[in-house]
A and B are shown apart, each in its own frame.
Chain A
Amino acid sequence: MKSKIDLVNNSKTDRMLLLINKIILILIVLIITAPLLYVLFGSFLSPNVLLTKGISLNPDDWTLDGYIRIFEDGSIVRGFLNSIMYAGGFSIVSVLFSILAGYALSVDNLAGKKLFMLFFIVTMFFNGGMIPTYLLIKELGMINTPWAIILPGAVSVWNIILSRTYFKGLPNELKEAARIDGASDLKIFLKIILPLSKPIIFVLALYAFIGQWNSYFNAMIYLEDQSLYPLQLVLREILIQNEVQPGMIADQLARAEIQKIAEMIKYSSIVVSSLPLLIMYPFFQKYFEKGVMVGSLK
């Protein structure tokens, strides 16, 4: 986008600054990538090698042991499937309900619109907090059920406002023309608005899915059965609480050996759990940017 004048008139200090800028950005890229690569390489090394030699590029030192143990045990795989269910269910509820409400509130002369907006916006500024919410979930009998993960927080005011802003930005003439033709609001929404709303639906679903996929706290307080644990809760046991899943060390008896294997499994479980999102997000990059743009319109 820069024109030629710009290049010609760059003074010496300006060029110097641009060079420093590039060097700092290269350093930043290195700081971001180094820990990620360390974990990735570390996951293929036996604990003994990692302790003595550090990151070794010698193929003789490489092993898939960590990964094999993860898949033999199955708790990560189960957590993975649970997380897909929770994050999927959460995104569907969140997007569907937010979009419906956002559309209704985007219609210009809906009576009581201001009251509804107020009803939603109040929740941005005030909430009951952790304890009253927990007591409510308990009262509803949702403890230890997937509903405790999927329903609370699914309808976010933020999403309603984002979709409302998006719908307001759509050309009004489309709706007007359909209305003159006698189409009902339902028909207008389904046949005209929805097909035009793929970007916003995708953006909201993406953020909802990632947010839910990466969270652990609600699962920690609401779920008791290990069989219901999402991936992040299984990871918490492995990474934070240093608990080894029994299936991962079925063949080991010596304590020291188990401790070493536990270390190795940390690396491979980080890779297994993070790789799917890390591989997929570049394909969605433009949607993240779009989401931010819609959001910045207020």
Chain B
Amino acid sequence: MARIASEKTIQATKNKESRKNYIKKNFVLYLFLVPAVVLVFIFNYIPMYGVTIAFKDFSPIKGIMGSEWIGFDHFINFLQSPNFQQIFMNTIKLSAFELLIGFPIPIILALMLNQLRRAKVKKNVQLIIYAPYFLSTVVISGMLFIFLSPAGPINEFLTLFMDEPVAFMTDPAYFRSVFIASSVWQVAGFSSIIYVAALSNVDPQLHDAATIDGASLLQRIIHIDLQVLKPTIAVLFILAIGGIMGVGFEKAYLLQTDMNLPASEIIDTYVYKRGLQAGDWSFGAAVGLFNSVISLLLLVIANTVVKKLNGETLY
């Protein structure tokens, strides 16, 4: 492709007539870029400038430019606030456990689906396990409230063996389990698509050859299937680490009840409450910035580590 490209450039420069044409043609291409550039500039770059209010004492009347610089005060306030440790640890724990449990399951699921011989059966199973992905976060959360309420079907079953219903939605001790289990229920099936697709590229002859050589099913899965999945796993893992601090904010907010706050208050919900609901703009922006910086750091670290281990990289 590079050769064709350079040939084209040579041709274009050689011929004056076509060079004129070339600029005209390129003009259209730049025009194609305009809407995307404008929208990304407005909605992505301007807020990056706006984040300077994290270092200011922002008041809506004075505007971003007019507000006074106060340095790192908001960050220090956040780091020293009594709930910092709890909120920070809640965020880390929720995301880390979700990653730990939620990341490998789609891979295992894909390996399992791959063992189904009949294409039709495989397709139907896939169709069913994809379904919850298409439910909205609001619906999933609503279903959790229905199923896990003290009088709900799960507790009705559990009280057959226990004296009291389990306070799934109000006891902080259950928040993470409920959150992660429901995430796995909702997306594990759909997340396996990418691995199933990668596995379909495995040459069946490889398996045949290995079988003749006496390899067991488990050996073939580990040494053939899993090897094929390695690059995909690496890239998705880096992405997952990068997204770790922003995980499941919409759902966490919906599942919050006054009583489970000690476990369910995470950085993003805190930013929303302090920044938007209480109008503490600068403080909210500072906490948000703190969060993005950590995400960025994690992404860079993950990318470096995976690159060292595997040679796969995101950028």
10-37 of chain B: CB within 8 A of chain A = 24-26, 28-30, 32-33, 35-37
Task: Give bound CA distance, A232 to B247, whole Å.
Answer: 20
A101:B217 contact, CB within 8 angstroms: no
Name the A residues within 8 Å of B268 (CB-CB): 130
A127:B292 contact, CB within 8 angstroms: yes
Q: Which residue of A lies closest to B286 (CB)?
A: A131
57-88 of chain B: CB within 8 A of chain A = 60, 64
A227, CB-defined interface residue at 8 Å = no
Task: Give bound CA distance, A274 to B8, whole Å.
Answer: 52
Minimum-distance CB pairs A-B, first 9: A128-B47, A239-B142, A132-B50, A129-B288, A214-B136, A101-B36, A132-B47, A108-B5, A100-B32
A39:B47 contact, CB within 8 angstroms: no
Partner of A216, one of B37, B46, B137, B291: B137
Name the B residues within 8 Å of A152 (CB-CB): 43
252-283 of chain A: CB within 8 A of chain B = 263, 266-267, 270, 273-274, 277-278, 281-282
Partner of B296, one of A104, A111, A126: A126
A residues contacting the other copy or chain, number (CB 8 A): 103
| Best-surrounded residue of A3, A18, A135, A214 (most CB of chain B within 10 A) | A135
Interface bits A127-164 vs B (CB < 8 Å: 1, else 0): 11111111110001000000000011111010010000
B107, CB-defined interface residue at 8 Å = no
B residues contacting the other copy or chain, number (CB 8 A): 98
B259, CB-defined interface residue at 8 Å = no
B193:A239 contact, CB within 8 angstroms: no
A91, CB-defined interface residue at 8 Å = no
Partner of A210, one of B4, B53, B134: B134
B289:A129 contact, CB within 8 angstroms: yes
A97:B39 contact, CB within 8 angstroms: yes
Chain B interface residues (CB < 8 Å from chain A): 1-2, 4-5, 8-9, 24-26, 28-30, 32-33, 35-37, 39-40, 42-51, 53, 60, 64, 109, 112-113, 115-117, 125-132, 134-139, 141-143, 145-147, 151, 153, 156, 185, 189-190, 193-194, 197-198, 204, 207-208, 211-212, 216-218, 232, 235, 242, 249-250, 253-254, 268, 271-272, 275-276, 281, 284-285, 288-289, 291-292, 296, 299, 315
Partner of A131, one of B24, B127, B216, B281: B281
Tally A-B pairs: CB < 8 A.
Answer: 276
What is the CB-to-nearest-CB distance from A50 to chain B, in angstroms, rounded to a whole number?
9
The answer to whether residues A236 and B254 also contact, given A108-B1, A131-B281 and a CB cut-off of 8 A, is yes
A108:B4 contact, CB within 8 angstroms: yes
Task: Give bound CA distance, A292 to B141, whole Å.
Answer: 27
Name the B residues within 8 Å of A221 (CB-CB): 272, 276
A184:B25 contact, CB within 8 angstroms: yes
Task: Give bound CA distance, A278 to B253, whole Å.
Answer: 25
A160:B36 contact, CB within 8 angstroms: yes
A121, CB-defined interface residue at 8 Å = yes
What is the CB-to-nearest-CB distance from B221 to chain A, in angstroms, rounded to a whole number?
9
What is the CB-to-nearest-CB distance from B243 to chain A, in angstroms, rounded to a whole number?
11
Task: Give bound CA distance, A13 to B214, whole Å.
Answer: 13
Partner of B48, one of A128, A155, A273: A128
A285, CB-defined interface residue at 8 Å = yes
Task: Give bound CA distance, A76 to B299, whole Å.
Answer: 41
Name the B residues within 8 Å of A24 (CB-CB): 112
A130:B5 contact, CB within 8 angstroms: no
A251, CB-defined interface residue at 8 Å = no
What is the CB-to-nearest-CB distance from A12 to chain B, in angstroms, rounded to a whole number?
10
Name the A residues within 8 Å of B4 (CB-CB): 108, 172, 176
Could you give 15 example pairs across A and B, Cβ below 8 Å? A5-B208, A11-B216, A32-B128, A32-B131, A100-B33, A107-B29, A110-B29, A133-B43, A136-B46, A189-B28, A189-B32, A214-B136, A232-B138, A281-B130, A282-B127
Where chain B touches its partner, the secondary structure class is helix
Task: Give bound CA distance, A216 to B250, whole Å.
Answer: 8
Task: Give bound CA distance, A3 to B113, whole Å.
Answer: 18
Task: Give bound CA distance, A295 to B193, whole Å.
Answer: 12
Task: Give bound CA distance, A111 to B112, whole Å.
Answer: 48
Partner of A101, one of B32, B135, B242, B285: B32
Task: Give bound CA distance, A104 to B211, whole Å.
Answer: 49
Partner of A21, one of B32, B64, B115: B115
B8:A108 contact, CB within 8 angstroms: yes
A131:B53 contact, CB within 8 angstroms: yes
Task: Give bound CA distance, A176 to B315, whole Å.
Answer: 30
Interface bits A72-101 vs B (CB < 8 Å: 1, else 0): 000000000000000000000100111011
Known contacts A221-B272, A285-B127, then 6 further A-B pairs from the complex at CB < 8 Å, ordered by chain A residue: A10-B217, A35-B185, A121-B315, A123-B40, A216-B137, A273-B139
B138:A186 contact, CB within 8 angstroms: no
What is the CB-to-nearest-CB distance from B121 to chain A, in angstroms, rounded to a whole number?
9
Task: Give bound CA distance, A287 to B291, whole Å.
Answer: 35
B138:A36 contact, CB within 8 angstroms: no
| Best-surrounded residue of B115, B138, B142 (most CB of chain A within 10 A) | B138
B284:A25 contact, CB within 8 angstroms: no
What is the CB-to-nearest-CB distance from A25 to chain B, in angstroms, rounded to a whole number?
6
A36:B211 contact, CB within 8 angstroms: no
Name the B residues within 8 Å of A274 (CB-CB): 134-136, 139
Name the B residues within 8 Å of A33 (CB-CB): 128, 131
B288:A21 contact, CB within 8 angstroms: no
A129:B129 contact, CB within 8 angstroms: no
Name the B residues within 8 Å of A51 (CB-CB): 151
Name the A residues within 8 Å of B284 (CB-CB): 130-131
A109:B40 contact, CB within 8 angstroms: no
A293, CB-defined interface residue at 8 Å = yes
